[in-house]
Amino acid sequence: MLSKKTKYGLKALTFLAKVEGKEPVQIAEIAKHENISQKFLESILLTLRRNGFLGSKKGKGGGYYLIKEPKDIPMTTVMRVLEGPIAMVPCVSLNFYEKCDDCPDEGECSVHKLMLQVRDSALEVYRNNTLADLL
Amino acid sequence: MLSKKTKYGLKALTFLAKVEGKEPVQIAEIAKHENISQKFLESILLTLRRNGFLGSKKGKGGGYYLIKEPKDIPMTTVMRVLEGPIAMVPCVSLNFYEKCDDCPDEGECSVHKLMLQVRDSALEVYRNNTLADLL
DNA sequence: TTATTACCCTATCATTTTAGTAGGGAATAC
DNA sequence: GTATTCCCTACTAAAATGATAGGGTAATAA
């Protein structure tokens, strides 16, 4: 299940991408427009900024803004920052690999075999979509 | 993230599919072989039986057994029973559809657009795999 | 300089989900 | 009848999730 954090984060990015020009947009405005708890959104935007997706400006007329072109923001990186691993089990994760406690042999594991395919198919989708494709 | 319930369920099904003949296999044996808490596995096998994947026999020499050929058990049905919806958001789910509280217009929603693709790609994998393909 | 705006950051909390445990009941084989 | 093995309900500990509270700090406008 997709977390609200990711869902809200994606919506916020989309909203910012649609804004004319590059003027900062206030948290409150995004929250209101997308029906999101303002405080919750605040923490999400913060992690997006810390991870290089957004810039921010304080004081009057401040807010958040994209620091890259939407077409240069692939969904793989967005998903990994907001949702975490794209794989459904750590033993098939490219960026968050971990061995299973049970499971003596990954090569023999049916779950491993299936989840590898699921990971690859999801990756293909995320790689083929940038923020620009969602507008 | 894939739940342990689904993971263990898949492993148990695989184990049963590998058994020579169709003699019942005891919970304890599966649990031991796959390093699963026996009581937890018990509840998983129970739901698999209730959903038409397994048969069971009580008393000495009893246990669980597959009641279909592995090639006739598609991963779509296994995943839906064990893990729930294949879609990551209810608004793109075929079998568990639900409208989002926020989101006035699904057609305009960027999350919807992306998650539709993810659902379809996952579905394709699950449809192309039966239990027999995991052996 | 001073007030205001708006982001920054930590801590806390209620709820839900997950993973696992406990314990007795019912059917079957011998 | 007794041992075995599945059946079923209820409970619980821990973690994750979604959200809230509340003050701090930097930038800006006047």
CA R_g for chain A = 18
Tokens 């995991």, located at residue:
B134
Nearest to residue B45, comparing CAs of B22, B21, B63, B20?
B63
Residue of B13, B2, B1 whose CA lies nearest to B55: B13
Q: Which CATH architecture has domain B4-66?
A: Orthogonal Bundle (1.10)
Name the E strands within chain B: 54-57, 63-66
Are B122 and A124 an interchain contact pair (Cβ–Cβ within 8 Å)?
no
Per-residue pLDDT of chain B (135 residues; tens, 9 = 90+): 999 999 999 999 999 999 977 899 999 999 999 999 999 999 999 999 999 999 999 999 999 999 999 999 999 999 999 999 999 999 999 999 999 988 889 999 999 999 999 999 999 999 999 999 999
* B28 CB inside 7 Å of strand C: no
> Where do we find the tokens 């031991």?
B32
Strand C at less than 7 A from CB of A112? no
pLDDT digits (tens, 9 = 90+) for A86-131: 999 999 999 999 999 889 899 999 999 999 999 999 999 999 999 9
B114 at A interface, C-beta within 8 A: yes
Within 7 Å: CB of B112 and strand C?
A: no
- Residue at minimal CA–C1' distance from D27? A59
Strand D nucleotides within 7 Å of a protein CB:
3-10, 17-22, 25-29
Which nucleotide lies closest to B55 by the C1' atom and the CA atom?
D6
Domain boundaries, chain B: 4-66, 72-134
**DSSP per residue, A23-77:** --B-HHHHHHHHT--HHHHHHHHHHHHHTTSEEEE-STT-EEEESS-GGG-BHHH
The long-range contacts involving B80-83, CB below 8 angstroms and separated by at least 24 positions, are B81/B47, B81/B48, B81/B51, B81/B53, B82/B3, B82/B5, B82/B6, B82/B9, B82/B10, B82/B44, B82/B47, B82/B48, B83/B2, B83/B3, B83/B5, B83/B6
Distance A24 CA to D27 C1' (A): 14
Decide: B66 and B13 in contact? Cβ < 8 Å: yes
Comparing alpha-carbon positions, the chain B residue that sits nearest to A124 is B121
In chain B, the largest separation of any two C-alpha atoms, in whole Å, equals 60
Separation between Cα atoms, residue B11 and residue A131, nearest integer Å? 38
Q: Give me the sign of the Cα torsion angle A110, A115, A116, A117.
A: positive
A107 touches strand D (CB under 7 A): no
Whether the Cβ atoms of residue B63 and residue A131 lie closer than 8 Å to each other: no
Mutation target among B111, B127, B131 for the A interface, most CBs of A within 10 A: B111
Q: Mind listing the pLDDT tens digit for each residue in A25-74?
A: 999 999 999 999 999 999 999 999 999 999 999 998 899 999 999 999 99
Q: Which pLDDT score, from 0 to 100, does residue A132 have?
A: 97
The residue written with tokens 């006739």 in the block is B72
